[in-house]
């Protein structure tokens, strides 16, 4: 086990959005191992989040709809009441919808955009406000290979993640003066719940395009994020952890 954070009385607090998902859960556990007190966000699966909270040393579940500004605002206020500070946000909350553009309904498109893009905006807006009260922090947004290369049948998802990348890089410029770093991580195609719900063809394509001919590993991604969280000199970067070259 590696140790990234200094041992002192100062509590370092992370919020993991989408902690009840496969990747979010791995990230939360890894951050806990290196010393973070972890706020575990979930929206639709509180039982899974509560189970996860029982496996880490300092964790608490917060339920919120990330697409709702008021809901996210209340969650950030709850984190402040819980620990009085916020040092890290890892935004792994996301949804997808696999369908050709002509078969994608407006409601389905809006749902993807509202969760993946508007949700990130809400987390940055209200999370950064709390970070500014302290000594800064970092926001890490989970984007996707499809944001840069596109994918047939994933137009809504690709659009949301491409916009998320632009939002993140703009936020990095705006928030640098407040000692808040903003970075983007592309984790690769993984067999988490979202990956398993994708079509067989999508899974085959992801492996065939990967130079290493394999899926991404959630635990490896979580370890990378824990290491990135400790680095105070990196901001405005996109890290591709995918074996598919950009």
What is the DSSP-derived secondary structure letter of residue 73?
A: H
CB atoms within 10 A of CB 70: 11
Report residue 181: phi and psi, to 5°.
-95, 145
d(CA 51, CA 238): 32
Q: Is 92 helix (H, G, I), strand (E, B) or coil?
A: coil
Tokens at residue 59, please? Answer: 């964790």
Helices (H), 134-245: 146-149, 155-175, 193-197, 200-209, 218-230
Would you call 2 a catalytic residue per the annotation?
no
73 contacts 123 by C-beta, under 8 angstroms: no
Question: Which member of 2, 145, 157, 215 is catalytic?
Answer: 157
Active centre residues (catalytic): 157
């Amino acid at each position: 086990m590696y140790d990234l954070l200094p041992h002192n009385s100062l509590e370092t607090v992370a919020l993991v959005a989408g902690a009840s998902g496969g990747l979010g859960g791995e990230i939360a556990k890894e951050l806990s191992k290196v010393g973070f007190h972890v706020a575990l966000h979930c929206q639709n699966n509180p039982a899974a989040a509560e189970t996860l909270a029982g496996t880490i040393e300092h964790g608490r579940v917060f339920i919120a709809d990330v697409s709702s500004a008021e809901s996210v605002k209340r969650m950030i206020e709850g984190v402040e009441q819980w620990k009085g500070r916020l040092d890290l946000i890892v935004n792994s909350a996301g949804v997808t919808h696999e369908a050709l553009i002509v078969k994608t309904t407006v409601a389905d498109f809006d749902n993807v955009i509202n969760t993946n893009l508007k949700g990130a905006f809400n987390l940055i807006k209200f999370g950064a406000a709390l970070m500014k009260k302290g000594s800064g922090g970092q926001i890490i947004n989970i984007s996707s290979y499809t944001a840069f290369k596109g994918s047939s049948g994933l137009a809504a998802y690709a659009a949301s993640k491409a916009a998320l990348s632009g939002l993140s890089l703009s936020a990095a410029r705006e928030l640098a003066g407040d000692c808040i770093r903003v970075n983007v991580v592309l984790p690769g195609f993984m067999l988490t719940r979202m990956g398993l719900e994708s079509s067989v063809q999508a899974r085959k394509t992801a492996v065939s395009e990967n130079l290493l001919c394999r899926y991404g590993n959630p635990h490896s991604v979580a370890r990378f994020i824990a290491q990135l969280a400790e680095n105070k000199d990196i901001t405005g970067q996109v890290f591709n952890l995918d074996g598919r070259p950009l």
